[in-house]
Amino acid sequence: MISRREYLRQLSILAAGSTLPPEAFAAVKDRKIGVQLYTIRGEIAKDAIGSIRKVAQLGFQEVENFGYNGKFYGMAAPAFRTLLAETGLSAPSGHYLLNNIRNGWEKAVEDAAAIGQQYMVLAFLMPNERKTADDYKKVADLLNKAGEICQKAGIQLGYHNHDFEFKQIGDTLPFNILMGQTDPSLVKAELDLYWAVKAGQPPLEIFRKYPGRIALWHVKDMDGTDKKQFTEVGNGTIDFISIFKAHKKSGLKHFFVEQDVCPGSPFDSIAQSIAHIRSKLLKYI
């Protein structure tokens, strides 16, 4: 175990020169910062173990998995669990597709439980899976059934948005169909803050509409250009302070840094993001 002095020294390095108020140190210790590993997908494809070790070295304490195909980055559940333990990481959540739910879901749930996941999240709907309101209703039914299987294993199912869930179909939004036709005890939401803001849906309004049901966040920022591109947390235009202050209304349990596209090394980008979160945002939760 490192000493408090060493802990603070490492923290100061990660903060990239920022001056943290005393109360921020308690927040850092109490709230873990996660990263969605999709951000470093290229590096994982080259060296999964080394890349995950580097994530831990940057100060992240949690990871959110992606790409489960019966294994985690080529590792069976026991081997991946060992890697997490060796690096001091935990994996409270992971992303899945409808194909995972339709084929071998029981095995996926078993593996998720084996590595300590608390959440399994439907990450994305393919264009042919979301053409009509009825398509979303079918997805909601499937989520309820998949959520029951998760619940028996002590896992919570979730749904992760992009912007298309906030584009009106008829007289409603697909996001409202998914939330309205799923059992709140079986299906929570992982709100991607970037995509919600880009779609013109203020996260605070979503928290108010679905209090306590937005258990997970993707924390990613939007630059100030007309293209509204991805950028490091703190370099863009999203009002994260107001969002973090509303975490209780949201029902937040875990949050993950994610940056779909990075200007250089994704490790550099997530290092900037974690430094900003630690120095400017953690004190609000």
| CB contact set of 128 (below 8 Å; sequence gap of 6+) | none
The dihedral region occupied by 74, where left means phi > 0, alpha psi between -120 and 50, and beta the remainder, is left
Pick the closest to residue 192 from 165, 232, 156 (CA basis): 165
Structural domain of 86:
26-284
DSSP readout, 194-247? Answer: HHHHHTT--HHHHHHHSTT-EEEEEE-EE-SSTT--EE-TTSSS--HHHHHHTH
**Is 234 within the bounds of a domain?**
yes
E strand or H helix that includes residue 99: helix 98-102
Determine the Cα–Cα distance for residues 113 and 117; give it in Å rounded to an integer. Answer: 6
Determine the Cα–Cα distance for residues 175 and 125; give it in Å rounded to an integer. Answer: 12
Residue with tokens 């509409």: 209
Determine the Cα–Cα distance for residues 222 and 259; give it in Å rounded to an integer. Answer: 10
Pick the closest to residue 271 from 80, 88, 69, 16 (CA basis): 16
**Is 7 within the bounds of a domain?**
no
**Is 45 within the bounds of a domain?**
yes
**Is 223 within the bounds of a domain?**
yes
**Is 62 within the bounds of a domain?**
yes
> Would you call 61 helix, strand, or coil by DSSP?
coil
Determine the Cα–Cα distance for residues 151 and 95; give it in Å rounded to an integer. Answer: 17
**Is 3 within the bounds of a domain?**
no
| Chain CA centroid to CA 61, Å | 13
**Is 4 within the bounds of a domain?**
no
> Would you call 255 helix, strand, or coil by DSSP?
strand
* Residuewise pLDDT in 10s, the chain (285 residues): 444 444 444 444 444 434 334 433 333 346 899 999 999 999 999 999 999 999 999 999 999 999 999 999 999 999 999 999 999 999 999 999 999 999 999 999 999 999 999 999 999 999 999 999 999 999 999 999 999 999 999 999 999 999 999 999 999 999 999 999 999 999 999 999 999 999 999 999 999 999 999 999 999 999 999 999 999 999 999 999 999 999 999 999 999 999 999 999 999 999 999 999 999 999 999
Domain count, the chain: 1
Q: What is the pLDDT at residue 30?
A: 63
The CATH number covering residue 43 comes to 3.20.20.150
**pLDDT tens digits, 143-198:** 999 999 999 999 999 999 999 999 999 999 999 999 999 999 999 999 999 999 99
| pTM score of the predicted model | 0.90
**Is 128 within the bounds of a domain?**
yes
